[in-house]
Amino acid sequence: MRLETIHNDLVGLETDLVNDNYTSGEIAAAIHAAQLTHKDVPLRFICETDILSIVLTRDLEKWESMDWRGISNRLAWKALVNILRQRCAATTFRKADGDEEWSFIDKARTVAKELTVLNRLKVVIPATNRSFNLSGVKISGLSQQLAYRMIRLTYKTRRKSTQRNLESIISGTNDSGEHGVTEEEVWTSLRAREIRKPVADFLWKCIHNAHRCGAFWENIPNYEERATCTHCGNPETMEHIMTLCQAPGRDVVWDLAGSIWRKKQAEWTRPSYDEIMGVGLRRWYTPKMKRRPTAERFWRILISESAYLIWCLRCERVIGHADIPEWTHTEREISARWTSMMNKRLHLDKTMTHRRFGRQALDKKMVTGTWRGTLSDEYALPDDWTNCKWVLVGITSFQRDAHGEG
């Protein structure tokens, strides 16, 4: 039996395979053809594409070992394999070849359009057999990554705080005039190459509201007082720590960040908590509305590292010196820590331009563009300063921005 014959009746029809409403017409026709043909009669599939032959012959073992996770129309593929395994005759697949075979497919498309207009689409119900069902992932092929993915697919519940943060980040980004941002883009932005792994983990926990501060302690007996900021007396949420807390650290760090960012000839306003969590989503443009990729890269480095430093200073003050209630960092120490942090990132970028890193090496023009305007005594440096050991950011220790915000 040729698949074109079935196409004349069913190709392009919608299917409903266990709530999988996006099954392609080609798989639906294959399922129906296999069910109409006697199990001991040879069946030849002549298809529009090679997808059936590739999935069902070359990649079948791979997909079954992964329980078909990662392939579209997963349930339909499983049903088709189940039905084909019930057959005892030969079954072959190939792509249509020649005018005659393609004419059958053209006729099938015409029939499908007519049925769509007449609203006479039929539902293909797969007649599966439990004896031929393979469920779950093959243990010998199970990796930690695949196991984690399977768990995530099984338990699709999401923390309410995570959902709120995602909606807030997306709303704030869209309101600023950026392109429509999706949740996938928010998570992908945390994996930007210039955001260090510890900092990316910190931001990931911020979005999930997983840091042990604020409301985390409210339901823990004998530790309820930790939910309150020891300096301000307000609930110690992450937003409070990053944008509102009056303890030494936050103001100094953001003032220093503003000082060096203005050297990039760009507007500076202290980032909101949503902008900190979505630091990888911000776009910067020239007056002629051209993207500034090196400025965006510097923004990701500057904001992510500054926010992480504020968190580290808070932990040192609240946890590391909990036995001294009035202990705080000095302004000079905070300034020195921030300057040292930025210089380390600068030297890391310089080091990563070396050719010994091969394809992982950073482009020298990208690095020099990222730090352009922010270096000390920049006019005395050569055009390619990535090999110079004495290059530093252009801000001295204990230098506060005169335009700092309280």
Q: What is the DSSP string of 334-367?
A: HHHHHHHHHHHHHHHHHHTTSGGGGGGSPPHHHH
Please give the average per-residue pLDDT across 382-400, as a whole number.
Answer: 78
Q: Would the pLDDT of 148 be above 90?
A: no
Give the model confidence (pLDDT) of 307-359 as tens digits. Answer: 999 999 999 999 988 888 789 999 999 999 999 999 999 999 999 999 999 98
Averaged pLDDT score across all residues of the chain: 83
Q: Would the pLDDT of 12 be above 60?
A: no
16-29 per-residue burial string, b: 16 or more CB within 10 A, e: under 16: ebeebeebbbbbbb
Pick the most confident of 41-50, 133-142, 156-165, 187-196: 187-196
Contacts of 113 (CB under 8 A, 6+ apart): 12
The tokens describing 227, both together, are 């939910």
Look at residue 179 in the predicted model and tell me its pLDDT. 66
How many Å from the N-terminal Cα to the C-terminal Cα in the chain? 79
Type of residue numbered 121: L
| Torsion (CA) 307, 313, 314, 320 in degrees, nearest 10 | 150
Please give the average per-residue pLDDT across 106-115, as a whole number.
Answer: 78
Distance (Å, whole) CA 265 – CA 185: 27
Residue 291 pairs in a beta bridge with: 285
Q: What count of other Cβ atoms lies within 10 Å of the Cβ of residue 4?
A: 24
| Torsion (CA) 333, 335, 341, 344 in degrees, nearest 10 | -100
* Polymer length of the chain: 406
Query: Which residue has tokens 């009035």?
Result: 326
Type of residue numbered 218: E
Query: 47 — phi, psi (to 5°)?
Result: -115, 170
Distance (Å, whole) CA 372 – CA 132: 64
CA 223 centroid distance within chain: 35
Look at residue 24 in the predicted model and tell me its pLDDT. 64
Least confident of 118-132, 174-188, 237-251: 118-132
Q: Would the pLDDT of 162 be above 70?
A: yes
Least confident of 152-156, 219-223, 245-249, 389-393: 152-156
Give the model confidence (pLDDT) of 265-314 as tens digits. Answer: 888 999 999 999 999 999 998 888 899 999 999 999 999 999 999 999 99
Look at residue 406 in the predicted model and tell me its pLDDT. 43
Look at residue 350 in the predicted model and tell me its pLDDT. 94
pLDDT band at 176 (very low <50, low <70, confident <90, very high): low
Q: What count of other Cβ atoms lies within 10 Å of the Cβ of residue 370?
A: 23
Q: Which CATH class is domain 3-136?
A: alpha beta
Look at residue 186 in the predicted model and tell me its pLDDT. 93
Query: Which residue has tokens 């779950």?
Result: 136
pLDDT band at 121 (very low <50, low <70, confident <90, very high): low
- Residue with the bigger pLDDT between 386 and 158: it is 386
Specify the DSSP class assigned to residue 47.
E
Domain boundaries, the chain: 3-136, 163-380
Look at residue 374 in the predicted model and tell me its pLDDT. 92
Least confident of 33-37, 311-315, 383-387: 33-37
Q: Would the pLDDT of 397 be above 70?
A: no
Look at residue 271 in the predicted model and tell me its pLDDT. 94
Look at residue 312 in the predicted model and tell me its pLDDT. 96
SS (H, E, C) 263-323: CCCCCCCCCCHHHHHCHHHCCCECCCCCECHHHHHHHHHHHHHHHHHHHHHHHHHHHHCCC
pLDDT band at 175 (very low <50, low <70, confident <90, very high): low
Please give the average per-residue pLDDT across 216-233, as a whole number.
Answer: 89
Distance (Å, whole) CA 161 – CA 61: 40
Query: Which residue has tokens 């500054």?
Result: 306
Distance (Å, whole) CA 218 – CA 214: 7
Q: Would the pLDDT of 4 be above 60?
A: no
Nearest to 390 by CA among 399, 400, 405, 380: 380
- Residue with the bigger pLDDT between 69 and 387: it is 387
Q: Would the pLDDT of 400 be above 60?
A: no
Q: Would the pLDDT of 401 be above 70?
A: no
Distance (Å, whole) CA 230 – CA 130: 62
Type of residue numbered 61: E
Look at residue 132 in the predicted model and tell me its pLDDT. 85
User: CA separation (Å) from 274 to 279, 281, 285, 352?
Assistant: 8, 11, 20, 30
pTM: 0.70
- Residue with the bigger pLDDT between 37 and 310: it is 310
pLDDT band at 17 (very low <50, low <70, confident <90, very high): very low
Least confident of 150-159, 211-220, 287-296, 313-322: 150-159
